[in-house]
Amino acid sequence: MTEDFKWVYDDEPLTKVLGIFTETGEDVVVVVDRGSGQMVGVINKKLIIKPRLNPTNLLARTVIQKPPRITPDTEIPEAARLMLESGLRSAPIVSDGKPVGIVRALDLVDAMADLLNDVRVADVMTRDPITVGAGETIGKAVSLMRDNGVSRLPVVDGGRLVGIVTVQDIVEKLVKPRERISRGDLIGEKVATLGNSVSSIMSRHVYTTNPSESLLSAVERMKTQRVTSLVVTDRNRVVGILTVMDALGPVAAKAKKGGEALNIQVSYKLPSIDVDDKERVMEVVQQFIRRFGRSIGAGTLSLYFKAHKEKHGDMHMIHCRARLKTDRYQFVGVGEAWRADFAARSALERIERQFLVRRELAARYPYADELLDTLTGGY
């Protein structure tokens, strides 16, 4: 934990938060009630790429999200589990309702480094990550980040890695300059637009790793280079991405007895969702786990919900992307429905079909898993 963290009052303009993101590179800014000093939430840097967000017209309180409840007494594995569930790389430490510090994912991983030496990058990385072409527009990159809930995209040209673009790049080179133009601070200067190519704002120097490197070694490189992700390459072709959140997995697993549990992460990017709907989603998830939990191994099942533009009255079509990543399998399923639990069921049914096919192949052909990994692991 560090006691040095960035915060603003809830009634301060969002432009102040933008300045903090640009100047410090922090992932979150803590928002505090001016009257009581109590924490009311945090602002995640990824919120800045929301469509039609005009920071000049908004106060900090309008875009906050509730962080996980972490106190000075929270054990490290439990803090890691809570941060994985929230999707935040940094989270405030709260005592009596007031922020007293902040903990970063890399701090937690570093504190439990002894768990990482026997883990390979390939064991925890995200395979086949979302990429963007160097010649595609910044607008396309922003849409990919927003729609897939990611904060960075490897940039490729002809299938080969040529750079990386992050939310920080978007804030520094697009959002912040626009805000300065609105104040009249940038007159006659050219500013990147959504129509410019990704290559105009991407970072060309990319820190990489390979699938066989130890997770401990890869995390040490993140610390040395002060980055929170490494692109995983094989002969300069992108085969995965390793983030500090991926490295949290082995730490978070220790929050459950024996480290054998399936960690559940659910993220809602919906206009609204009530407690009953969330409970129905968890019932669907628990049904899936009861059926297959012992067979799929230890790892993480994450569900990401977002609202489609398509509406029926006031109701949005809901998109659910489910990802199962364990020590034995990695599957992705997508579902759509008018209710969150129906969308979750559809996505998990697709994962179920993939799992059953994989299990049947393994029963018929003893080396099917190795064959499939060989065929799918390279791209």
pLDDT tens digits, 177-221: 666 656 555 555 566 678 899 999 999 999 999 999 999 999 999
- Structural domain ending residue among the three candidates 246, 275, 292: 246
Task: Please give the tally of structural domains in the chain.
Answer: 3
65 in the same domain as 144: no
| Residues 192 and 174 sit within 8 Å (Cβ to Cβ) | yes
Measured distance CA(50)–CA(47) in Å, rounded: 6
83 in the same domain as 129: no
Burial class, 147, CB count within 10 angstroms (exposed 0-12 / middle 13-18 / buried 19+): middle
161 in the same domain as 139: yes
Q: Does residue 113 form part of some domain?
A: no
The reported pLDDT for the residue numbered 361 is: 54
83 in the same domain as 15: yes
Q: Does residue 267 form part of some domain?
A: yes
The reported pLDDT for the residue numbered 24 is: 86
* Element containing residue 312 per DSSP (H, E): strand 299-312
| Residues 216 and 231 sit within 8 Å (Cβ to Cβ) | no
Q: Which residues have CB under 8 Å from 200's CB, separation 6+? A: 138, 192
| Residues 309 and 271 sit within 8 Å (Cβ to Cβ) | no
The reported pLDDT for the residue numbered 258 is: 43
**Domain interval for residue 268:** 256-376
Q: Does residue 214 form part of some domain?
A: yes
- Structural domain ending residue among the three candidates 41, 70, 104: 104
Averaged pLDDT, 24-45: 91
The reported pLDDT for the residue numbered 376 is: 36
The reported pLDDT for the residue numbered 200 is: 93
31-45, 79-93, 237-251, 302-316: range with lowest mean pLDDT: 302-316
* Element containing residue 316 per DSSP (H, E): strand 315-326
Q: Does residue 109 form part of some domain?
A: no
Q: Does residue 111 form part of some domain?
A: no
Measured distance CA(175)–CA(48) in Å, rounded: 8
Which residue is associated with the tokens 């102040």?
16
DSSP string computed for 216-285: HHHHHHHHHHT-SEEEEEETTEEEEEEEHHHHHHHHHHTTSGGG--EEEEEEEESS---HHHHHHHHHHH
Coil, helix or strand at residue 324: strand
Q: Which residues have CB under 8 Å from 158's CB, separation 6+? A: none
- Given a cut of 90, whether residue 85 has pLDDT beyond it is no
C-alpha pair distances (Å), 170 with each of 3, 164, 212, 280, 311: 28, 12, 32, 37, 30
Burial class, 2, CB count within 10 angstroms (exposed 0-12 / middle 13-18 / buried 19+): exposed
What is the domain-level CATH number for residue 277?
A: 3.30.160.100
Share the mean pLDDT of the chain. Answer: 83
Q: Does residue 115 form part of some domain?
A: no
132 in the same domain as 226: yes
Strand partners, 234: 237
Q: Which two tokens stand for residue 277?
A: 């709907």
Q: Does residue 294 form part of some domain?
A: yes
Model confidence band, residue 75 (pLDDT cutoffs 50, 70, 90): very high
What is the domain-level CATH number for residue 235?
A: 3.10.580.10
Model confidence band, residue 143 (pLDDT cutoffs 50, 70, 90): confident
- Given a cut of 80, whether residue 100 has pLDDT beyond it is yes
100 in the same domain as 17: yes
- Total length of the chain: 379
144 in the same domain as 183: yes
Cα dihedral angle (21, 26, 31, 37), rounded to 10 degrees?
A: -120
173: which DSSP letter? I
Model confidence band, residue 15 (pLDDT cutoffs 50, 70, 90): confident
pLDDT, greater one: 213 or 268: 213
- Structural domain ending residue among the three candidates 218, 246, 274: 246
What tens digit of pLDDT does each residue of 322-348 get?
A: 998 887 778 899 999 988 999 999 999
Model confidence band, residue 57 (pLDDT cutoffs 50, 70, 90): confident
Q: Which two tokens stand for residue 285?
A: 């998830």
* Element containing residue 109 per DSSP (H, E): helix 105-111
- Given a cut of 60, whether residue 101 has pLDDT beyond it is yes
110: which DSSP letter? H
Q: Does residue 260 form part of some domain?
A: yes
- Given a cut of 60, whether residue 375 has pLDDT beyond it is no
63 in the same domain as 37: yes
210 in the same domain as 289: no
5: which DSSP letter? -
262 in the same domain as 183: no
29: which DSSP letter? E
What tens digit of pLDDT does each residue of 352-362 get?
A: 888 776 765 55
Model confidence band, residue 131 (pLDDT cutoffs 50, 70, 90): very high
Q: Which of 116-130, 153-167, 287-301, 303-317 has maximum average pLDDT?
A: 153-167
Q: Which of 236, 228, 233 is nearest to 105 (CA)?
A: 228
* Percent above pLDDT 70 for the chain: 84
Coil, helix or strand at residue 330: strand
The reported pLDDT for the residue numbered 181 is: 57
| Residues 289 and 351 sit within 8 Å (Cβ to Cβ) | no
| Residues 113 and 21 sit within 8 Å (Cβ to Cβ) | no
What tens digit of pLDDT does each residue of 212-265 get?
A: 999 999 999 999 998 989 999 998 899 999 989 889 888 887 765 444 467 788
266 in the same domain as 197: no
- Given a cut of 90, whether residue 275 has pLDDT beyond it is no
234 in the same domain as 182: yes
